[in-house]
Chain A
Amino acid sequence: MTAVVPTTTLAGSSKGGVRAFKNSLATVLVTAAFGIALIPLVWLLWTVVSKGLKTLTQSGWWTSSQRNITFRKPGGGVWHAILGTAEQVLLCTLISVPIALLVGIYLIEYGGGRLAKLTSFMVDILTGIPSIVAALFIYAVFITTFHGQRAGIYVSLALVMLMVPVIVRTTEEMLKLVPNELREASYALGVPKWKTIVKIVVPTAFSGIVTGIMLGIARVAGETAPLLILVGYSPDTNSNLLSGFQGSLPGMIYAQVPQLGNTRFHYAADRMWGTALTLIIIVMGLNLVARLVARRSKVSN
């Protein structure tokens, strides 16, 4: 309190017409900045929900594909797209998680050396790598060099490059929070370091790591650029990651775009907003669940 009282008197005495005005102005601007951020969020969510909701409640939206459905026809669903996205993301997760966990463990539990510094730097670079560059790299390796055909599996590989840094960073943060006493207690009992990490450190940080994985999934599920380059969009259900074009949620949105300006048939536009809403529900849902898990998680001694 003593700090506050002189503040007000000084500000008042040294005349602060100008100072008080500046102070109020700053308060207004700072608050307004938040309002500015709120506008696009509300506007965008409102647009997607209001335009997409009716499509989501159509019969068959969640269970059928877009087979034999053109922009002139209503109906069809997103099942093929959900399946494709789910498969690609699942494979990506299966590859990313072990790599990212090991990297995170290395940086925290064994870090400090020159390689660790370099690795940490490279993870940062990987975080900043544009998805289209990751896709081009996979294309250059597997399709031009090894003459593969475009397929879902390559999308998974490109997504790995985007997902690994997310999980590495979260794993690092979580491992840092594990109290050193736990490690020391384990060493004191004669447990080897690797076993301490596997049985004590990682399980303690487990829920935090799960959060990181879910955030990673949310990050890659909405990625579109790798899809354009590495697999074509197919309106049919194709569950084969190894060959053929595959449906995917972002791919399905993109596929409707050419017909957006069509004034006679609005089905493509409806479908696009419906898919966008579906994608937002999935990605935001994952995000929210990840945060809930993080909140519940306890790294405590």
Chain B
Amino acid sequence: MTDQESRDRERARAMAEREATHASDTPDDYRGNADPNGVGVIPSSSALATPALADAPVSGSGVGAFGARGKVRIGDKVFRYLTAGAGMFVCILITLVAVFLLAKAIPSIANDKVNFFTSRAWQVSGSTLEFGIVDLLWTTVLSSVFAMLLAVPVAIGIALFITQYAPRQLARPVAFVVDLLAAIPSIVYGVFGITVFAPKLHGIIDFLNRYLGWIPLFKKQISDPGTVFAGGIILAIMILPIITAIAREVYERTPRENVEAAWALGATKWEMVRLSVLPYGKPGVISGAMLGLGRALGETIAITLILVAPPSGAPFSPSLFYGGETFASKIANAAAEFNNPTQTGAYIAAGLVLFVLTFAVNAAARIVVNRRREFS
């Protein structure tokens, strides 16, 4: 393998690592594909054809060697149990998260004077406990879905640019720049969002309000810059790298035959992309979008800093141009006042709902990836 190729491989691996930080559930375990990292910058190049890479280290390989000798070494047994124990630890940890959150949330939910799922109240400091999640759920889902809708088209565009349009020399720096977005801590996004970015949005908000204000979603409700709209855009920037990384990975794997076939039909570049690359990558992009959504749902500090909490008792508004609190920001805002168990339990109940929500979204994304693997 030439030096250039091996350098390419390492570079791509480095990029893939960035993505592993977020979204390991990407098609990382496609068996039979030489390189799990989407390293195939040039599909089926010799860089991938190295037999050593093609054989994914099959579990238990070599076991036969001593199996044949009919003797199990004690070191092997211990080490095996040690690693399996670590694996089991991770499984137990997730179970414990669910168990503990449930255990701490249930007493408070039992004492809740209003319906937990349908009430808009949040009164936990007094003697009577009244809390419901419907407002939190709305703001959380609205901001996250809005962020996803903004981020996905841009991510697809960037991924196409990197894999199909940009010259090789440009593709790597571009991918690097997008990955850098993921290296910025979320609190920095938060302070940037609220002090610099959000105040700049007044023009857009007024414009949308003027022409689309008859739709409740676009009705301007507050003049404070801390709107769901601003928060959603910042969230979109934050989840862009993860969606891009996954889209890039699946687009890189588009079978050569499909691309050649499109060319042979006389397709233009765009038609080639539309006929071969996009359909092939669709399930991967969907799961990437869901992973991004999962991130956005749980994002805490940036959203806490940006969103302005409406006064209690304020009427409900579905608008993007309104403040609000998400599950995460509600918990973060109250973090300093966790002092008695029932009160804290209300926040833990909110955390539990958030956990269930992100669990469902992430698991669904994972299932999409798995199903695709069976077909491909």
A residues at B contact (CB < 8 Å): 3, 6-7, 9-11, 14, 16, 19-20, 22-23, 25-27, 29-34, 36-38, 40-41, 43-44, 47-48, 98-99, 102-103, 105-113, 115-116, 118-134, 136-137, 139-141, 143-145, 161, 164-166, 168-170, 172-173, 175-181, 183-184, 186-188, 192-198, 208, 211-212, 215-216, 218-219, 221-225, 228-229, 232, 250, 253-254, 257, 260, 269, 272-273, 276, 279-280, 283-284, 287, 290-291, 294-295, 297-298, 300-301
Residue among B14, B16, B17, B94 having the largest count of chain A Cβ atoms under 10 Å: B17
Instruction: Give CA–CA (A291, B20) in the complex, Å.
Output: 13
Instruction: Give CA–CA (A130, B347) in the complex, Å.
Output: 15
Partner of A109, one of B11, B21, B59, B267: B59
Place the interface of chain B in its size category. Answer: 35 or more
Partner of A129, one of B66, B97, B156, B187: B97
In the complex, identify which listed stretch (B117-125, B214-222, B361-369) lies at the interface while the others stay far away: B361-369
B145 at the interface (CB under 8 A from A): no
Distance of A100 from chain B, by nearest CB (Å): 8
B6 at the interface (CB under 8 A from A): yes
- Which residues of chain A come closer than 8 Å to B187, judged between CB atoms? 222, 224, 250, 253-254, 276, 279
Residue pair B65, A188 in contact (C-beta under 8 Å): yes
Residue pair A29, B65 in contact (C-beta under 8 Å): no
Partner of A19, one of B164, B271, B298, B359: B271
Instruction: Give CA–CA (A170, B28) in the complex, Å.
Output: 11
B residues at A contact (CB < 8 Å): 6-7, 10-11, 13-14, 16-18, 20-25, 28-29, 36-37, 52-53, 55-63, 65-66, 73, 75-76, 78-80, 82-91, 93-94, 96-97, 100-101, 103-104, 153-158, 160-161, 164-166, 174, 177-178, 180-181, 183-189, 191-192, 194-197, 237, 240, 244, 260, 263-264, 266-271, 273, 291, 294-295, 297-301, 305, 328, 331-332, 335-336, 338, 341, 344, 347-348, 351, 354-355, 358-359, 361-363, 366
Distance of A275 from chain B, by nearest CB (Å): 9
- Which residues of chain B come closer than 8 Å to A192, judged between CB atoms? 66, 73, 75-76
Residue pair A126, B7 in contact (C-beta under 8 Å): no
Instruction: Give CA–CA (A199, B65) in the complex, Å.
Output: 18
- Which residues of chain B come closer than 8 Å to A181, judged between CB atoms? 52
Instruction: Give CA–CA (A115, B22) in the complex, Å.
Output: 23
Residue among B87, B89, B174, B178 having the largest count of chain A Cβ atoms under 10 Å: B87
- Which residues of chain A come closer than 8 Å to B85, judged between CB atoms? 102
- If A115-B87, A127-B25, A140-B100 touch, does A26 touch B298 (CB 8 Å cutoff)? no
Residue pair B355, A211 in contact (C-beta under 8 Å): no
Residue pair A29, B157 in contact (C-beta under 8 Å): yes
- Closest chain B residue, CB of each to CB of A194: B79
- If A110-B83, A128-B361, A173-B16 touch, does A38 touch B157 (CB 8 Å cutoff)? no
Instruction: Give CA–CA (A284, B174) in the complex, Å.
Output: 17
Residue pair B62, A193 in contact (C-beta under 8 Å): yes
Instruction: Give CA–CA (A294, B197) in the complex, Å.
Output: 34
- Closest chain B residue, CB of each to CB of A171: B20
Residue pair A287, B183 in contact (C-beta under 8 Å): yes
Residue among B52, B164, B347 having the largest count of chain A Cβ atoms under 10 Å: B52
Q: List 20 A-B contacts (CB under 8 A).
A: A43-B197, A102-B85, A111-B59, A119-B87, A132-B351, A137-B97, A137-B101, A140-B103, A144-B104, A164-B90, A170-B20, A184-B62, A187-B66, A212-B17, A225-B301, A228-B332, A229-B331, A260-B194, A276-B191, A283-B184
Residue pair B177, A37 in contact (C-beta under 8 Å): yes
